[in-house]
Structure 1
């Protein structure tokens, strides 16, 4: 029985076990959404103070000294950009060249 078979639901003769790669991808996407929407939570606060520090999230380099979780967010951001759109509003917090 392969990993793909194990991750199938019971109704399709699988064991109903979640694919951890997919779960991790989805969790990273959600964290990226929280970062770019500036949601008020501990993870976003930590990322903003430790890594972003006034720079633009979409242009941040991947540093070897960065934590594994920050590197995983940065690696996933290109995929996340396809799902995120910025509502311009009054234009004060919008960067025309960088915000999706």
Structure 2
């Protein structure tokens, strides 16, 4: 029963790897660019976390996959870590843009 849940979590975590070759190109271009506007520190941190997080996601996924195979007592927790990492990436993507300045 738990093996089914573990495999389901790992398959869901592997789906983003299908678009990884395209995402890595965009992340490398984002890391290589220099912003022309002054954005707040929080947004810069979110931007860098998202770009670096996209780059290291395969290591996170395959590390959790290997660990969930070898440590049976923590297999569901380890198999769910890539999904939590993807949630963190989604949150950082949401907050990485500079806020719009409105003139009144």
- Please classify the TM superposition score into its range, dividing by the shorter chain length: under 0.3
TM-score when normalising by structure 1 = 0.27
More helix by share: 2
TM-score normalised to structure 2 length: 0.27
